[in-house]
């Protein structure tokens, strides 16, 4: 099995990715009882690291997990993983699992929570050379897990709805999927938020979705560019008839969706508003207000 090159932090030690393993008795494995967050490093700089760490810590508190380190130490661990990995462009994940109960108790309060961090090469949902072609997605009849059951604002590994949706999409010739809620409005895709543009206004779902950091970045950039954004229910048909549709994710930034259910969105290519957002998003990666150098974090 091929393991991406990189460095992990587990149990107080830094190890090669190939040596990063958890117990089969860990509740994170047995019950998907964990939270996580993914930041990225681009050209040696973390992008919006504070926002990712804020969300990670809030998620942990929300599901009664206790970090074994403080915020400053967590940030240093993440930076150290990147430096040891040798990657200037990196995908950097932090995970907190429920852990293992010393007595194999069924009471989650007995488990010892476990922090895992790692840095591997940056990964793309849509590679830059494929950006003009865009993403082809299907809108599945499979419903997203309702937020009343699992709060999607807590980043989690409850992905079986997405996985079944992906198989649905693959069977229909699409490369990815967007799930609906019970009312027939769009929620999100596996690892990305969704936006639709109509007559110059952007809309994005405001219920039943992860409040993505790249989603937030796109909204803030749009405001800076004077483009109105509405956070509200986004009916399926509105997306199908939109002028432009795009997705946002740490794994690729702002990405055009050019086909939905086999039909072209707008002109079937990256639209002008999406392109403006993409350009501005990548420009922000060198802005000190939005990014910080990895080695700056570790400087004495």
251-269 core/surface letters (b: 16 or more CB in 10 A; e: else): bbbbbbbbbbbeeebbeeb
d(CA 208, CA 212): 12
Q: Which of 121, 146, 171 is the last residue before a domain boundary?
A: 121
Whether residue 253 sits in one domain with residue 157: yes
- Evaluated on CA atoms 276, 246, 154, 96, the torsion sign reads negative
Whether residue 223 sits in one domain with residue 96: no
Cβ neighbors of 246 (< 8 A, separation 6 or more) are 194, 195, 197, 218, 254, 255, 256, 257, 271, 274, 277
Domain of residue 15 covers: 7-121
What angle, 0 to 180 degrees and rounded to 10, lies between the N-to-C axes of helices 213-224 and 49-62?
130
Give 65-110 pLDDT, tens digit per residue: 999 999 999 999 999 999 999 999 999 999 999 999 999 899 999 9
Whether residue 91 sits in one domain with residue 159: no
**Residue 300 is assigned to a structural domain of this protein:** no
**Residue 295 is assigned to a structural domain of this protein:** no
pLDDT at 2 over 90: no
- Evaluated on CA atoms 123, 127, 131, 137, the torsion sign reads negative
CA dihedral 57, 61, 65, 67 (to 10 degrees): 40
Identify the bridge partners of residue 9 per DSSP, sorted by sequence position: 14, 117
Cβ neighbors of 170 (< 8 A, separation 6 or more) are none
d(CA 178, CA 67): 32
| Tokens linked to 216 | 């937030």
Give 103-121 pLDDT, tens digit per residue: 989 999 999 999 999 999 9
Give 19-46 pLDDT, tens digit per residue: 999 999 999 999 999 999 999 999 999 9
Residue 77: closest CA among 161, 168, 9, 28? 9
Q: Which of 121, 143, 172 is the last residue before a domain boundary?
A: 121
Number of domains, the chain: 2
Q: Which of 89, 121, 153 is the last residue before a domain boundary?
A: 121
Give 245-296 pLDDT, tens digit per residue: 999 999 999 999 999 999 999 999 999 999 999 999 999 999 999 999 999 9
CB 177 within 8 A of CB 162: yes
Q: How many CB atoms lie within 10 A of CB 128?
A: 12
Give 130-159 pLDDT, tens digit per residue: 998 999 999 999 999 999 999 999 999 999
């Amino acid at each position: 099995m091929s393991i991406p090159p990189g460095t992990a932090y587990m149990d107080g030690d830094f190890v090669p990715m190939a040596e990063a393993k958890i117990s089969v008795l860990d509740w994170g494995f047995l019950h998907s009882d964990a939270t996580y967050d993914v930041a990225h490093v681009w050209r040696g700089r973390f992008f919006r690291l504070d926002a990712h760490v804020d969300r990670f810590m809030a998620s942990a508190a929300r599901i009664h997990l206790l970090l074994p380190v403080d915020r400053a130490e967590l940030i240093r661990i993440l930076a150290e993983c990147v430096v040891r990995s040798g990657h200037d462009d990196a995908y950097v994940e932090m995970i907190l699992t429920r852990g293992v109960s010393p007595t194999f108790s069924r009471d989650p309060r007995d488990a010892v929570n476990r922090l895992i961090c790692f840095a591997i090469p940056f990964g793309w949902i849509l590679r830059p050379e494929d950006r003009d072609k865009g993403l082809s997605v299907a809108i599945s009849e499979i419903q997203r897990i309702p937020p009343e059951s699992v709060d999607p604002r807590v980043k989690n590994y409850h992905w079986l709805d997405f996985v079944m949706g992906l198989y649905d999409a693959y069977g229909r010739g699409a490369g990815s999927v967007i799930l609906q809620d019970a009312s027939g409005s769009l929620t999100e895709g596996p690892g990305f938020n969704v936006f639709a543009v109509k007559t110059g206004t952007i809309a994005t779902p405001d219920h039943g979705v992860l409040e993505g950091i790249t989603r937030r970045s796109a909204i803030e950039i749009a405001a800076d560019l004077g483009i109105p954004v509405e956070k509200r229910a986004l009916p399926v048909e509105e997306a199908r008839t939109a002028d432009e549709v795009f997705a946002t994710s740490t794994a690729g930034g702002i990405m055009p969706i050019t086909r939905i259910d086999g039909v072209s969105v707008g002109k079937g290519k990256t639209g002008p508003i999406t392109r403006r957002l993409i350009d501005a998003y990548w420009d922000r990666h060198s802005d000190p207000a939005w990014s910080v150098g990895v080695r700056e974090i570790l400087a004495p």
